[in-house]
Structure 1
């Protein structure tokens, strides 16, 4: 199919051009600030923004990611500039780009994602702290020191010697940046960094404050082609690899994050790495900073409505036009305002959201150690230490052994050993086994996927000693027979056991590994599947649940009356994680509760309600609806979809009150999701219908019975609470 060129250009004009202007307004101040933090010529930041936009935007694998100078690389660039000089740093950037290009060509992008995000986030947080401490000295009217520790030590003295106008400009910039985030969304369309610098520059000009001005006059005239760095070639190669890997990892992680922000085509990571490599070769040759995909500009691009890579490309064009035609305006910006912007950016790089994420996976130590080490020792050292710690923690998780002991009623001790049994787990294993009393009958379950020789020797030696002391040990291996094979002298498996996929009981028959087929022409598939399922229950599940059912055989004591739809996709015990004896269940078409005295008359639901509340004494009645309910579709169609099913049409009349409530509350907001809204309203109405029964209403009023509404979204497999109509009405009145 030939693409509609006119439509494509109209889409670009409508979405990508406005988005590119927003990103351009964000990119200019950030590029200048990052160049300043990197100790590079300020023009280098603009060059990197232009190249990152045009080259990386055109050649990269993401449609909406925006590349440019990255704050996370500024610490590396500062060190390179101080060690080799600016022109040699540009050559290192060029060579790093060549490395990225090769990695992209050889499809190595996915390998970069193996780096722990906790290390990357910890590194970026440390860079943010270092930038903030260094530029805070400039805001206070002084100059930054060589290290973060020195900046921290000198900070009290710097505060004691404040420089009036310079401090005022810095504080004004930070104040505008902080307040701008609290303004209405339509005002925040103008980027905060741009507004802060404009306010600072205008204020300093009006009041004629004594501030330091940004000067670009010598940046272009002093340009020269990059030169090879001089020094130990091992260190130079290390610097090239460090820039290539850090810029590549930041770009790819940003790319993955941006993929989750838009519904368009997913990014090609290898193509993205290739594009970043070419961009770094170009920016290095032109005297620009290293470029990488940056989350701030990429997020702004997506939120501004960008659809294609034209937004990133055009933003680079706008930066180029600005630098050539309006670069003279930059000299109006106070240097202290740029430093204040960097302080604000540095603080934001310590992202609490990242800390929460790594905390959820137990990787806070990696984050903290990486951050502290980068601040104290340096970027390369901190990243290496973080990677080593992340690897050690991963190794610990992989080799962690758990030993659970439970004494059965007949005096036997049930012991379960889980994990990978290696020499690292032997101390814990032997400690736990030696606490078992002599002459004990032990059932030992080995739920392991690997066992090395050291673990076998420890386990086998304990078994022999325990049996010599009069005890017994019965070993049952749930995976491959590692212990049995080792004891027989057979050759061991070279790798860990692949996990066995069980025939999970909750999977539909059609999803089982070996679905049962009719064995005879006159039998139905359902009969054969049910029979096979019963045999499976007898073989695997019945022995496990027989004690529970033996106890339940005397009487039932459910705590919930559960009223739900007869839909085959709703499995009450599955979606509520309940077991035998928990739920007294009523199922019908549409999870309907006929109102007291309603027509057509129905006693089945009423009988269940009376029995559950007055005989069983349940504490809760739950009505559970679900998405895409066919009964509610029939109600919504006025019974038309019930067709020639007279019984169904009569039954659906009990849903008329739900339809009336739906029209009353949602009638002015009908949309494509009206069916699911009606399904939720239906749950609320059935809770109201329950209150028409006097005994139910009395128990609810006395606090002895609770009515709960649930809604199961089948597509997302999520259960949502549905508030009663009365609670919704009370909230509406209070508002």
Structure 2
């Protein structure tokens, strides 16, 4: 780290110091418990916590992740200790750290994120259950068996032969862990694991219970160098790879999870992998357990307010000082209390939240197979089984091609093909296509994100055969044009294309490629349009609409004409939730108290300014407005339209403004450009009418509300800004300059 980084992190010490103390209080009992479950010396857990905190915290790529011994490696470590002994296991840990350093140097960290989370959660759940079953025997006063099944089958006899005081310590520890989260906030400031250990130790000492004590005397100073393991080198290499890959994967996944919990710098995964490797080499050389990023300590660190890596480093220093100066206090903790802590921690790894997440992605079988494999067969075998099943399910999804067919009212057959069209889905595809009657007129929608050559050949051959037999096929592709490009002989790219909105969604019905078909009723087009929306557009906009379902906060009130040629969202490039829209004939804004009375526009203005707190009110007029044409035509133009005549009285001020601009207030307006001038002046008049509303005028004067006038020239498809009224003629400014050569 450079000097600037060190100075920056020193400024966060007031946050990191208390956070490091909280993590330290959590780390000590968990490190001892993991060492106990692994069959390693208890001091090995504290050494790993020191190496993980100081070395990985200093050299790693995450600013808030805390590393140390992890329960997920318990089975691997226990097997290595049983086979090769503790000193040989330390050398294997050093070699595993070297593998992690090499992987980080070759920037292989991202590959670990390709592992399905269902496999990871299933593995952790399986390991947690194995630990819980084994340590439950310790809580009951016995000894763990050689396998999870043996622990399960021996449990009834162990329960019968209960050892009173030891069981009471275990039950007391679990009880404290369960109720601690329900206590007042100032009490919960003490971490639950530490509180459980203190209560269990104090109770056993006060009542003089006969429990098993932990003895660390001389454990820290009785160091022996790592020894070369003897045995089949294939198995030794497998142990090295298992520790390197499992510890690395857990650290990287923990990094990604922690990044979502804080706003500081994002983690450098390759640097994190190198830091973890060096920490493992140091831990193994000092006689400690393997090190990995631990989610429990890391989340505790973030929630305690940590801002930088200083918290993780300080937590390692506190563990070191505790082991050197206060290690004698550990003998006050009953062994059964540590075992009960591991039972509780192991059961918590079976998270309902994780199960719900994988269920949402149909990956519960992967989770279950991984967990069952770890419990019944072994860690490596269970993980491999989960990975294999995940790969098979992914392959199966590639073969899942859905073909939806329905008969339209006009007699045409509409078919939609969805999925990824690969050679694996060709059998299903050809089966569905051959079921289409010969000679049918077919509209075929391709809602696909990929098409390989085999699928194209199958689809293209069917189309040629169908058309040769007198049928017709109209193909519409909703994503990139896989079929069109392949039919043209263009090069196909292997990457899947992102979805895009349906082509020509903005075209009127009369201009779409199916518009020449007869309709049995006028409303059929509308019904067909909703069906097309459900099929093409709804999947694209559903995430946004789901987010907006309980939140309505538009920034603009948009008042425009009812004319069907004006599409507010189209001409303003806005989307759902942006515009609070009011439409009426002539985009009129009646003044308060004017006759005939109308509350609809006033109600919208009131709601927009008092409830929605919009920042802008826009009045948008347009060329060729029918309402302005009627105003120019006078009463004779509205002889048979009495309601329209009454409504257009609100536009007489605009007409008077036009007459005044001509210098002849009572003169007829027959000039060719009179209609366009009135349409533009009407926008200015309605902006002026808006200021007659007290709330609007106050907000405009306070600078909290802006009034904007727009004019849409339909023929040129240009939107122009209408300036406030001036003595001269109004000025219109295009929002975008016209293209060169346009008029």
Structure-2 change in CA distance of 1:365 and 1:213 (3 Å) = same
Deviations 1:351-376 (A, max 9, x none): 12211222222222211111111111
Structure-2 change in CA distance of 1:78 and 1:541 (3 Å) = farther
Displacement of 1:273: 1.0
**What's the counterpart of residue 204 of structure 1?**
204
1:70-89 paired onto structure 2 within 5 Å: 70-89=70-89
SS of the equivalent of 2:693 reads helix
Q: State which drifts further: 132-141 or 648-657.
A: 648-657
1:215-294 paired onto structure 2 within 5 Å: 215-217=215-217, 219-220=219-220, 222-294=222-294
SS of the equivalent of 2:228 reads coil
Deviations 1:503-525 (A, max 9, x none): 9889xxxxxxxxxxxxxxxxxxx
Deviations 1:566-604 (A, max 9, x none): 3479969943799xxxx98469xxxxx99xxxx954789
**What's the counterpart of residue 69 of structure 2?**
69
Total equivalences in the alignment: 592
Q: Is this contact kept in 1: 2:37–2:131, CA < 8 A?
A: yes
**What's the counterpart of residue 319 of structure 1?**
319
**What's the counterpart of residue 493 of structure 1?**
492
1:102-501 paired onto structure 2 within 5 Å: 102-217=102-217, 219-220=219-220, 222-452=222-452, 454-456=454-456, 458-459=458-459, 462-463=462-463, 471-476=471-476, 493=492, 495=494, 498-499=497-498
Question: Which blocks of at least 5 consecutive residues in structure 1 are unaligned?
Answer: 507-533, 555-561, 588-592, 613-620, 633-644, 658-674, 677-735
1:89-100 paired onto structure 2 within 5 Å: 89-100=89-100
SS of the equivalent of 1:362 reads coil
**What's the counterpart of residue 523 of structure 2?**
551
**Distance in 2 (alpha carbons) for counterparts of 1:227 and 1:43:** 18
Displacement of 1:466: 5.0
**What's the counterpart of residue 651 of structure 1?**
693
Displacement of 1:384: 0.9
RMSD: 4.2
**Distance in 2 (alpha carbons) for counterparts of 1:203 and 1:563:** 58
Structure-2 change in CA distance of 1:433 and 1:140 (3 Å) = same
Structure-2 change in CA distance of 1:539 and 1:170 (3 Å) = same
Q: Is this contact kept in 2: 1:35–1:41, CA < 8 A?
A: yes
**Distance in 2 (alpha carbons) for counterparts of 1:239 and 1:7:** 40
Q: Is this contact kept in 1: 2:38–2:75, CA < 8 A?
A: yes
One of 558, 563, 566 as aligned partner of 2:556: 566
Displacement of 1:443: 2.9
Q: State which drifts further: 23-32 or 447-456.
A: 447-456
Displacement of 1:11: 3.6
**What's the counterpart of residue 530 of structure 2?**
none
SS of the equivalent of 1:405 reads strand
**Distance in 2 (alpha carbons) for counterparts of 1:59 and 1:267:** 12
Structure-2 change in CA distance of 1:4 and 1:169 (3 Å) = closer
Displacement of 1:202: 1.3
Displacement of 1:630: 2.6
SS of the equivalent of 1:431 reads helix
Deviations 1:603-635 (A, max 9, x none): 8994437999xxxxxxxx997988874379xxx
Q: Is this contact kept in 1: 2:609–2:696, CA < 8 A?
A: no
**Distance in 1 (alpha carbons) for counterparts of 2:251 and 2:612:** 40
Displacement of 1:228: 2.2
**Distance in 1 (alpha carbons) for counterparts of 2:361 and 2:344:** 28
Q: Is this contact kept in 1: 2:478–2:500, CA < 8 A?
A: no
Displacement of 1:472: 4.5
Q: Is this contact kept in 1: 2:139–2:337, CA < 8 A?
A: yes
SS of the equivalent of 1:219 reads coil
**Distance in 2 (alpha carbons) for counterparts of 1:504 and 1:44:** 64
Structure-2 change in CA distance of 1:379 and 1:576 (3 Å) = same
SS of the equivalent of 1:329 reads helix
Q: State which drifts further: 470-479 or 427-436.
A: 470-479
Displacement of 1:476: 4.9
Deviations 1:97-149 (A, max 9, x none): 11111111222111111111111111111111111111011111111111111
Displacement of 1:484: 6.9
**Distance in 1 (alpha carbons) for counterparts of 2:163 and 2:19:** 39
**What's the counterpart of residue 630 of structure 1?**
615
**Distance in 1 (alpha carbons) for counterparts of 2:479 and 2:10:** 60
Deviations 1:261-308 (A, max 9, x none): 122111111111111111001001111001111111111111111111
Q: Is this contact kept in 2: 1:42–1:216, CA < 8 A?
A: yes
Displacement of 1:397: 2.5
Q: Is this contact kept in 1: 2:32–2:338, CA < 8 A?
A: yes
Q: Is this contact kept in 1: 2:12–2:308, CA < 8 A?
A: no
Deviations 1:416-447 (A, max 9, x none): 22222223212322332343334433333344
**TM-score (norm. length: structure 1):** 0.72
Deviations 1:164-223 (A, max 9, x none): 111011101111111111111211111111111111111111211111111223533543
Q: Is this contact kept in 2: 1:480–1:497, CA < 8 A?
A: no
1:530-545 paired onto structure 2 within 5 Å: none
**Distance in 2 (alpha carbons) for counterparts of 1:374 and 1:571:** 55
**Distance in 1 (alpha carbons) for counterparts of 2:476 and 2:170:** 70
Displacement of 1:319: 0.5
Structure-2 change in CA distance of 1:251 and 1:5 (3 Å) = closer
SS of the equivalent of 1:200 reads helix
Question: Which blocks of at least 5 consecutive residues in structure 2 are unaligned?
Answer: 527-551, 560-567, 618-686, 706-743
1:694-733 paired onto structure 2 within 5 Å: none
**Distance in 1 (alpha carbons) for counterparts of 2:324 and 2:485:** 76
**What's the counterpart of residue 576 of structure 2?**
575
Q: State which drifts further: 340-349 or 452-461.
A: 452-461
SS of the equivalent of 2:445 reads strand
SS of the equivalent of 1:217 reads coil
Structure-2 change in CA distance of 1:305 and 1:473 (3 Å) = closer
Larger radius of gyration: 2
Q: Is this contact kept in 2: 1:449–1:496, CA < 8 A?
A: no
**Distance in 2 (alpha carbons) for counterparts of 1:91 and 1:159:** 39
**Distance in 1 (alpha carbons) for counterparts of 2:597 and 2:268:** 56
**Distance in 2 (alpha carbons) for counterparts of 1:321 and 1:310:** 16
**Distance in 2 (alpha carbons) for counterparts of 1:478 and 1:493:** 17
Structure-2 change in CA distance of 1:157 and 1:401 (3 Å) = same
Structure-2 change in CA distance of 1:301 and 1:549 (3 Å) = farther
**TM-score (norm. length: structure 2):** 0.71
SS of the equivalent of 2:254 reads helix
Q: State which drifts further: 391-400 or 454-463.
A: 454-463
**Distance in 2 (alpha carbons) for counterparts of 1:72 and 1:430:** 48
**Distance in 2 (alpha carbons) for counterparts of 1:261 and 1:352:** 20
Q: State which drifts further: 313-322 or 221-230.
A: 221-230
**Distance in 1 (alpha carbons) for counterparts of 2:233 and 2:351:** 36
Q: Is this contact kept in 1: 2:444–2:473, CA < 8 A?
A: yes
Q: Is this contact kept in 2: 1:16–1:306, CA < 8 A?
A: yes
**Distance in 1 (alpha carbons) for counterparts of 2:8 and 2:498:** 51
Q: Is this contact kept in 2: 1:418–1:447, CA < 8 A?
A: yes
